[in-house]
Chains A and B, each alone.
Chain A
Amino acid sequence: EAGVAQSPRYKIIEKRQSVAFWCNPISGHATLYWYQQILGQGPKLLIQFQNNGVVDDSQLPKDRFSAERLKGVDSTLKIQPAKLEDSAVYLCASSSTPPGLRGYEQFFGPGTRLTVL
């Protein structure tokens, strides 16, 4: 079974530029999550999708961040314009519904490390 795929793995941009990240979850997983992990901190949930609907985006800075999950499979997270404080690792995860033996275990992708200069 293929894992969660993310691209790119690394991205360096200047402030005020735009950037987009792509995530392909595990096949069949209905729930997809985007997290922001700043160095030395735990992951912070930005947005959670159930199929192609948004379950929770309460911590998404909507003035600059946007995300979509067309057709309930792949997802794209965009930042426009980027700020210095957006430098972080952006993690995508997916989980199945209904839950398995390990509850709603999340499977994480390798992450995208964003550096904003």
Chain B
Amino acid sequence: AQKITQTQPGMFVQEKEAVTLDCTYDTSDPSYGLFWYKQPSSGEMIFLIYQGSYDQQNATEGRYSLNFQKARKSANLVISASQLGDSAMYFCAMRNFNKFYFGSGTKLNVKP
């Protein structure tokens, strides 16, 4: 069963605009962690943002924010003021029962 679902294989956004990347997850455990990673064409995985299941507020890290809707089991990533350097693959991941699960990713292209 899919633990993490990313339904957008690819997205385009205009430079300086905001973009939302979708992520839904599936777990019966009340304790879990949600992560977003960026993977540029060079291949390294770069941590962006983390949300714990008990965190009351949505996480923010600079231009990145996580729209955490617990009842809907969604953890969408919002990137504000997109830059050309944001063009990359983005992966949503969940840590649950001491295991990590990754989604299939969303390829973001930022247009000048």
Contacts and interface: CB of A to CB of B under 8 A. Distances in A.
B100 A33 contact: yes
Interface in A71-110: 89, 91, 93, 99, 102-108, 110
A62 interface: no
| Interface majority SS (helix, strand, loop, mixed), chain A | strand
Most-contacted residue by chain B among A107, A108, A113 (CB, 10 A): A108
Nearest to A91: B45
A56 B95 CA distance: 13
Nearest to A9: B43
A111 interface: yes
Interface of A: 33, 35, 41-45, 48, 55-56, 89, 91, 93, 99, 102-108, 110-111, 113
A111 B91 contact: no
A48 to B, nearest CB: 7
Nearest to B95: A104
Contacts, number: 53
B50 interface: yes
A102 B52 CA distance: 8
B47 A110 contact: no
How many chain B residues sit at the interface, stated as a range, is 20 to 34
B91 A43 contact: yes
A105 B4 CA distance: 17
A36 to B, nearest CB: 11
A108 B93 CA distance: 14
A59 B4 CA distance: 16
A45 B3 CA distance: 13
Interface stretch (B12-20, B70-78, B79-87, B101-109): B101-109
Contacts of A108: 37, 44-45
Contacts of A93: 45
Given A42-B91, A105-B35, A105-B50, A56 B99 contact: yes
A21 to B, nearest CB: 14
Nearest to A99: B33
